[in-house]
Chain A
Amino acid sequence: MSEKEYPPLEKVSIVISKGSLDGIYPGLIMANGARMEGIDATVFFTFFGLEAILKKRMKKIKVATVGNPAMHMPSLLGMLPGMSAFATSMMKKEMDRLDIPPVDEFIEMLSDAGAELYACKATVEMFHLAKDDFVPQVDAIINVATFYEKSAGAQIIFT
């Protein structure tokens, strides 16, 4: 340990920008972990990250099996029908064993834990979405200026 004492973290602001299972979970786990430690947490969903809070999409999040060297699978195989669904179901089983909830339940848990959840306005407009398309746990649709306002005093983490 260094001799310098650092003040404890008080707030995190996490950006979730990817829509695959492996793109969404790290941000959710970090936000929830912050709340579990008594750290304030704000989560900003942007671009494909919006999939995590869209009523119609959130239960269909999948692992990317193509272009992902860490899958230890040639992309050509990853392209086979059902491969992504198979990898997803394997991963979900393991996550359930660790008590990591599915995305929809995770969003509910985060909101109940007091985390604030926001959707990115530019993406919402780009994809022609409306507040109704999102789960009720989403606090608001905000622009990047508001995101920075809400991140005052926070460490910003981009995922």
Chain B
Amino acid sequence: MPVKEIAGIQVDFDDEGFMTNPDQWTKEVAQALAKEEGIGELTDGHWKVIDFMRNDFKEKGQPPTIRRINKVGGVPTKDLYTLFPKGPAKKAAKIAGLGKPQGCV
């Protein structure tokens, strides 16, 4: 399993680049991952999504779907696609330090 040093922390990843230990996640790690994903500087809009995803994950044990991010997290689907282009649920989960979403929607 690859380990990388990001923002001064040793972070474990799976082969697809998803963090395997959510406890190693910090805001600085998220920002570094966002840059790697081509998102650049994280804005308040991004943080709203990331914070919701992390809280929801704690409750449910899996990364939320796009529908859930919309209905429960209050982020319109259009905005989500603008904030995290080219694969929003997957990219946001990656930056939020969660595993790869396993659902079909």
Show the binding face of A for B, using Cβ within 8 Å.
Answer: 29, 32-33, 35-38, 98-101, 105, 109, 112-114
Segment of B9-17, B25-33, B47-55, B76-84 in the binding face:
B76-84
Query: When chains A and B are docked, how far (Å) is the Cα of A98 from the Cα of B103?
Result: 8
Q: Which 7 A-B pairs have the closest CB atoms?
A: A38-B86, A112-B77, A38-B87, A99-B65, A112-B78, A99-B67, A100-B105
Instruction: Kindly provide the distance from the CB of B62 to the nearest chain A CB, expressed in whole angstroms.
Output: 10
Once the chains bind, are A112 and B76 in contact (CB under 8 Å)?
Answer: yes
Give the residue of A33, A38, A109 whose beta carbon is less than 8 angstroms from that of B67. A109
Main secondary structure of the interface of B (DSSP, over half): helix
Query: When chains A and B are docked, how far (Å) is the Cα of A114 from the Cα of B84?
Result: 13
Query: When chains A and B are docked, how far (Å) is the Cα of A101 from the Cα of B78?
Result: 16
Once the chains bind, are A99 and B78 in contact (CB under 8 Å)?
Answer: no
- What residues of chain A lie closer than 8 Å to B89, measured between beta carbons? 36
Known contacts A29-B104, A99-B103; decide if A36 and B66 are in contact (CB<8 Å).
yes
B61 contacts partner chain A, Cβ-Cβ < 8 Å: no
Most buried by B among A36, A105, A109, A114: A36
Query: When chains A and B are docked, how far (Å) is the Cα of A98 from the Cα of B76?
Result: 19
Q: A98-B105, A99-B103, A113-B66 are in contact. List 10 more A-B contacts (CB 8 A).
A: A33-B104, A33-B105, A36-B87, A36-B89, A38-B86, A99-B67, A112-B76, A112-B78, A112-B81, A114-B81
Once the chains bind, are B88 and A36 in contact (CB under 8 Å)?
Answer: yes
Nearest B residue to A105, CB-CB: B67
Instruction: Kindly provide the distance from the CB of A155 to the nearest chain B CB, expressed in whole angstroms.
Output: 18
Query: When chains A and B are docked, how far (Å) is the Cα of A112 from the Cα of B77?
Result: 6
Instruction: Kindly provide the distance from the CB of B36 to the nearest chain A CB, expressed in whole angstroms.
Output: 16
Chain A to chain B contacts (Cβ below 8 Å), 9 pairs? A33-B105, A36-B66, A36-B88, A99-B65, A99-B67, A99-B68, A99-B105, A105-B67, A109-B77
- What residues of chain B lie closer than 8 Å to A29, measured between beta carbons? 104-105
Query: When chains A and B are docked, how far (Å) is the Cα of A101 from the Cα of B104?
Result: 12
B94 contacts partner chain A, Cβ-Cβ < 8 Å: no
